[in-house]
Amino acid sequence: MSGLITSAGKNQMLYRLIGTSKTVPSVFKVGTGTTAPTAADTDLETAVVISGVSYTKAFASGYPTVTESSKTLTTRCVLASTEANANTLTEFGIFNTDGTPLMFSRDTYTGIVKNAYIQVIYESVEEMV
């Protein structure tokens, strides 16, 4: 999966280059929206609760990783069998944790009917060209 980097995501990268206070992406959301991603997106179309009342979850331990030779950033995110159930998941987004979280990237995909028997692992690879 390779999400479209949003305008807000590109701005986050620019701010980080000069050392300002924008936080790095560290959480993800999932949802049921089906509209194709655009650079102007600021949130998922229809985010769903992952656990309890939370719409976000931290990346898997040890992620993101950077591969300098291919100029890629890999993020892994895991939905446990107990999370986001009773939804047909069709969208995924990466966010930072600023006071007003900024969406770094968004992707849509063929629906996954999420239930207690399914764990979903998202791996997003962003490439700098």
Domain boundaries of the chain, sorted by first residue? 4-127
- Bridge partners of 58? 27
Contact (CB, 8 A) for 79 and 10: no
Q: What is the pLDDT of residue 9?
A: 74
Order of strands across the sheet that contains 87-95:
4-5, 103-114, 87-95, 27-31, 57-58
For residue 53, give both structure tokens. Answer: 């009342």
Query: Mean pLDDT, consecutive 10-residue segments, the chain of 129 residues?
Result: 72 69 86 95 97 96 89 92 98 90 92 98 86
pTM: 0.87
